[in-house]
Amino acid sequence: MAKQTFTTGQVLTAAQMTSLQQTAMGGGSTTAKTTSYVLTAADAGTVVQMNAAGATTITVNTALFAAGDSVQIQNIGAGVCTVTAGTATVSTAGSLALTQYEGGTLYFNSTGAALFFDWVQAASASGGMTVISTGTLSSTGVTFSSISGYNNLELHVTGYNLGGGGRLFIRLNGDTGTNYTGGYLRFRDGTASIATGAGSPGQTAQIEVDGGTTPDSGATNSAIIEFPAYATTTGTKLVSALAYDLATYKIPSLNFYSYNGTIGATTSITIVASGGTFSAGTYTLYGVK
Amino acid sequence: MDKITEVNCATGEVTERDLTVDEIAQRKIDTDYEIARAKDIAKAAAAKETLLAKLGITADEANLLLS
Q: Please count the structural domains in chain A.
A: 2
Residues A177 and A276 in one domain: yes
The stretches of A170-222 forming alpha helices (DSSP H) are: none
Q: What is the 3-state secondary structure (H, E, C) of A255-285?
A: EEEEECCCCCCCCEEEEEECCCEEEEEEEEE
CA of B10: which chain A residue's CA is closest? A146
Residues A37 and A142 in one domain: no
A 87-116 residues with CB < 8 A to B: 97, 99
In this complex, how many residue pairs, one in chain A and one in chain B, have their CB atoms less than 8 Å apart? 103
Closest Cα in chain B, distance from residue A235 (Å) = 24
Query: Using CA atoms, how far apart are residues A125 and A155, in angstroms rounded to an integer?
Result: 19
Residues A190 and A157 in one domain: yes
Query: Using CA atoms, how far apart are residues A57 and A60, in angstroms rounded to an integer?
Result: 10
Query: Using CA atoms, how far apart are residues B12 and B15, in angstroms rounded to an integer?
Result: 10
Question: Nearest-5° angle of CA A26, CA A31, CA A32?
Answer: 120
Highest mean pLDDT among A2-16, A56-70, A162-176, A243-257 belongs to A56-70
Assess B53–A contact: CB distance below 8 Å, yes or no.
Answer: no
Question: Nearest-5° angle of CA A17, CA A19, CA A21?
Answer: 70
Supply the mean pLDDT for chain A: 83
**Amino acid, res. A40:** T
Closest Cα in chain A, distance from residue B49 (Å) = 14
Residues A175 and A276 in one domain: yes
Residues A196 and A158 in one domain: yes
pLDDT per residue as tens digits for the range A163-217: 766 788 888 898 888 788 888 887 776 777 777 765 554 556 666 655 443 444 5
Domain extents for chain B? 20-66
Cβ proximity of A166 and A276 under 8 Å = yes
The per-residue pLDDT for A166 is 75
Closest Cα in chain A, distance from residue B10 (Å) = 6
Assess B41–A contact: CB distance below 8 Å, yes or no.
Answer: yes
Query: Using CA atoms, how far apart are residues A171 and A179, in angstroms rounded to an integer?
Result: 10
Residues A272 and A140 in one domain: yes
B67 pLDDT band (50/70/90 cuts)?
confident
CB contacts of A145 in chain B (<8 Å) are 6-9
The per-residue pLDDT for A201 is 47
pLDDT per residue as tens digits for the range A73-114: 999 998 889 899 999 999 988 778 888 888 999 999 999 999
- Which pTM was predicted? 0.66
pLDDT per residue as tens digits for the range B17-47: 999 999 999 889 888 888 887 788 789 889 9
Residue A136 CA neighbour count, 13 Å, CB half: 5
Query: Using CA atoms, how far apart are residues B36 and A200, in angstroms rounded to an integer?
Result: 11
Residues A241 and A153 in one domain: yes
Domain boundary among A84, A118, A152: A118
A 181-240 residues with CB < 8 A to B: 200-201, 203-204, 212-215
- Region for A120 from its dihedrals, namely left if φ exceeds 0, alpha if ψ lies in -120 to 50, beta otherwise: beta
Task: Indicate yes or no: CB of A55 within 8 angstroms of CB of B26.
Answer: no
> Which residues of chain B form beta strands (DSSP E)?
3-8, 14-18
Residues A240 and A171 in one domain: yes
Helix or strand or coil: residue A47? strand
Q: What is the CATH number of the domain that holds A243?
A: 2.60.120
Query: Using CA atoms, how far apart are residues A62 and A87, in angstroms rounded to an integer?
Result: 5
Residue A226 CA neighbour count, 13 Å, CB half: 13
Residues A54 and A183 in one domain: no
Closest Cα in chain A, distance from residue B4 (Å) = 5
Residues A59 and A162 in one domain: no
Range of the domain at A73: 14-118
Give Cβ neighbours of residue A204 (< 8 Å, ≥ 6 apart): A169, A170, A171, A176, A180, A272, A274, B30
Domain boundary among A97, A118, A139: A118
ipTM metric: 0.82
| Chain centre distance of CA A220 | 24
pLDDT per residue as tens digits for the range A126-166: 777 888 888 899 999 999 999 998 999 999 998 888 876 67
Asked whether residue A231 is assigned to any structural domain, the reply reads: yes
Report DSSP letters for A57-107, one per residue. EEEE-SSSS-TT-EEEEEE-SSS-EEEEESSSEEE-SS-SEE-TTEEEEEE
Task: Indicate yes or no: CB of A54 within 8 angstroms of CB of B42.
Answer: no
Minimum mean pLDDT range among A61-75, A83-97, A119-133, B53-67: A119-133
Asked whether residue A90 is assigned to any structural domain, the reply reads: yes
Residues A186 and A241 in one domain: yes
Closest Cα in chain A, distance from residue B8 (Å) = 5
Helix and strand numbers, DSSP H then E, in chain A: 1, 22
Assess A61–B contact: CB distance below 8 Å, yes or no.
Answer: no
